[in-house]
C-alpha cells in the first residue's frame, strides 16, 4: 500500500499520490543473497524522490515470510521516467532480486492514498504496521467511504493520537478481494491487545446504538477482509522510515 506517504505531491498538480507494491517470495535457501541484492538495488536506484522504496516483512497469514517492496508516492505521470532497462535498473533487479526469488514472485498492485480520511497527527518513524484489507461489495465503494468518514470523525474527536492511513486499490478485482486498506502504525506489539473503546466512543459521538448500526451498515457494503502484520526493514530499504505530517497534506 501499500502503501506509505513519504513526500508531498505538488499542490499545483491535479495528480494524486500512488504507491506501487510488489509482493516478493525469496527462495528459502537463498534469503541472505536476496536481502543483500534488494538492499544494493534500493540504494542504487530507489534512494530518493518519487522512486524511493521501502521494504517490509509479513509475519502472519498466508503471506508469512514474504517481503513487500513499496515505491512512492508518485504521480502516474512519473512512471514514464522511472528507472528502467536503459539505466541498468531492470538488469540489476533480475540479477540481484528476481534471481533469488521463487517463480511467480513479484505480484504488483497500486494503491491511492486518501489524505482526507487518514490521520497523521504527528511526525513518527515507521516500525510496525497492521494492514487491514477489505473486500468491498461491487458498486458500494462510495457507501463504504461514507462509513469511514464516520470513523474518522470519532478518531479525530476521541482518539486523536492514533495514526492510520486509508488506501484504495487502483486496479482491484473481484477475485483478489483487496479493494480497500486501512493501515494502523504502531511501535510496540502490546498495542495489538489494547481495547481503545471505539464502540463506546462511537456511541458518544453519534448516539446510543450507533455502533451496532454502523456494523450492520459495514457488513452490508463489504464481503469480508483479512489482516496482515508488517515490519519495516530499514536495513533493506532505499529511504528512511521517517514520516513527516507536512507530507501527508
CATH number at residue 36: 3.30.70.100
Residue 32 confidence (pLDDT) above 80:
yes
Model pLDDT, residue 244: 84
Contact present, 241 and 232 (Cβ < 8 Å): yes
In a domain, 241, yes or no: yes
Would you say residue 1 has pLDDT above 60? no
In a domain, 209, yes or no: yes
Helices marked H in the chain — which ranges?
31-45, 89-96, 141-158, 198-206, 210-221
Residue 7 belongs to a domain: no
What value does the mean pLDDT of the chain take? 92
What average pLDDT score do residues 5-21 get?
64
Average of pLDDT values for 40-64? 96
Question: 86-104, pLDDT tens digit by residue?
Answer: 789 999 999 999 999 999 8
Q: How confident is the model at residue 84 (pLDDT cuts 50, 70, 90)?
A: confident
Helices (H) and strands (E) in the chain, counts: 5, 10
pTM: 0.91
* Residue 144 maps to a domain: yes
Q: Which residue has the cell 486518501?
A: 114
Number of compact structural domains in the chain:
1
Proportion of the chain above pLDDT 90, given as a percent: 82
Q: Which residue has the higher pLDDT, 200 or 2?
A: 200
Q: Which three cell numbers, joined as nine digits, stand for 15?
A: 495528480
Angle at 18 between CA 13 and CA 23, to 5 degrees: 165
pLDDT of residue 15: 81
Packed helices 141-158 and 198-206: angle between N→C axes, nearest 10 degrees: 100
Decide if 152 is inside a domain.
yes
Res 13 pLDDT > 90: no
Residue 107: predicted pLDDT: 92
121 within domain boundaries: yes
Determine, yes or no, domain membership for 9. Answer: no
- What's the Rg (C-alpha) of the chain? 19
Q: How buried is 206 (Cβ within 10 angstroms: 0-12 exposed, 13-18 middle, 19+ buried)?
A: middle
Helix (H) or strand (E) holding 113: strand 107-119
pLDDT for residue 162: 95
Domain enclosing residue 242, as ranges: 18-247
Give the three-class secondary structure for 35: helix
6 in a domain, yes or no?
no
Query: What's the pLDDT at 8?
Result: 42
**Residue 77, burial from CB neighbour count under 10 angstroms (0-12, 13-18, 19+):** exposed
* Nearby residues of 119 by Cβ (< 8 Å), 6 or more positions away: 152, 155, 156, 160, 162, 163, 164
Q: How far apart are CA 44 and CA 68, in angstroms?
A: 18
Cα separation values, 226 from 78, 82, 133, Å? 31, 32, 5
Using omega within 30 degrees of 0 as the cis cutoff, is the peptide bond preceding 73 cis? yes
Amino acid at each position: 500500500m501499500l502503501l506509505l506517504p513519504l513526500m508531498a505531491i505538488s499542490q499545483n498538480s491535479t495528480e494524486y499520490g500512488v504507491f506501487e507494491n510488489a509482493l516478493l517470495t525469496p527462495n528459502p535457501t537463498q534469503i541472505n543473497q536476496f536481502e543483500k541484492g534488494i538492499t544494493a538495488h534500493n540504494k542504487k536506484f530507489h534512494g530518493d524522490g518519487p522512486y524511493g522504496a521501502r521494504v517490509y516483512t509479513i509475519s502472519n497469514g498466508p503471506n508469512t515470510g514474504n517481503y513487500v517492496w513499496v515505491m512512492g508516492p508518485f504521480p502516474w505521470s512519473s512512471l514514464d521516467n522511472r528507472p528502467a532497462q536503459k539505466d541498468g535498473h531492470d538488469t540489476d533487479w533480475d540479477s540481484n532480486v528476481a534471481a533469488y526469488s521463487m517463480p511467480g514472485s513479484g505480484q504488483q498492485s497500486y494503491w491511492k492514498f486518501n489524505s482526507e480520511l487518514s490521520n497523521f497527527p504527528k511526525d513518527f518513524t515507521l516500525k510496525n504496521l497492521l494492514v487491514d484489507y477489505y473486500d468491498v461489495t461491487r458498486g458500494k465503494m462510495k457507501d463504504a467511504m461514507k462509513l469511514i468518514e464516520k470513523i474518522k470523525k470519532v478518531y479525530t474527536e476521541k482518539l486523536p493520537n492514533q495514526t492510520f492511513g486509508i488506501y484504495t486499490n487502483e486496479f482491484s478485482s473481484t477475485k483478489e478481494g483487496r479493494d480497500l486498506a486501512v493501515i494502523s502504525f504502531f511501535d510496540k506489539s502490546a498495542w495489538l491487545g489494547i481495547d481503545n473503546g471505539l464502540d463506546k466512543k462511537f456511541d458518544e459521538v453519534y448516539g446510543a446504538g450507533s455502533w451496532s448500526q454502523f456494523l450492520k451498515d459495514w457488513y452490508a457494503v463489504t464481503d469480508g477482509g483479512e489482516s496482515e502484520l508488517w515490519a519495516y526493514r530499514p536495513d533493506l530499504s532505499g529511504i528512511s522510515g521517517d514520516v513527516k505530517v507536512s507530507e501527508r497534506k
